[in-house]
Chains A and B, each alone.
Chain A
Amino acid sequence: NAGVTQTPKFRVLKTGQSMTLLCAQDMNHEYMYWYRQDPGMGLRLIHYSVGEGTTAKGEVPDGYNVSRLKKQNFLLGLESAAPSQTSVYFCASSYDSGQGRNYGYTFGSGTRLTVV
């Protein structure tokens, strides 16, 4: 059982380049999320999805786009990378919105992105 798989694990981009980060989960979870983690800060939500075909903005959506064409996949796109987007990106999934008592997110192993 792979859980949540992110690709790639590392990437270096030049300013202005574009790329797509892929997140795949095999747990049949409805909810999927993209976060970024920067030193000294908590995880910040970029975009999320509550089901196939739906996406919504999180706390820091500017400069990113997402798509959820299939339930198991959630893609994060950077159209024109900027140095401020240098970060560690985590994808996560969950069964529901968190109403259950044993609620928890399953995270992928992260993508370390450097924009130069």
Chain B
Amino acid sequence: KAGVTQTPRYLIKTRGQQVTLSCSPISGHRSVSWYQQTPGQGLQFLFEYFSETQRNKGNFPGRFSGRQFSNSRSEMNVSTLELGDSALYLCASSEGHASSYNEQFFGPGTRLTVL
């Protein structure tokens, strides 16, 4: 099976712009979770989508949003970009709900740089 893929791999934006990142889960996986990795904060949970519904949300402002399509592909959108949004954005997929019992498989990430 192909792994989790994320596009684009690298992105440069300026403050105030918006950005959309894409994640294609492993075939058959219905859950997609998004994480932000920064040097100072490590990996932080953004949200999880399961069957096109947001199931869980981390502690991020409303500028961060997402959605999931019927084929389980997911997009994450960040509006009004700030310098502090520069980070590696990772998505992870699992067969069932993200839980202790369903291993999450990570994609390689999208490196976003905000200038």
Answer yes or no: are A and B bound together in one complex.
no
Interface positions of B (Cβ within 8 A of A): none
Binding site for B on A (CB under 8 A): none
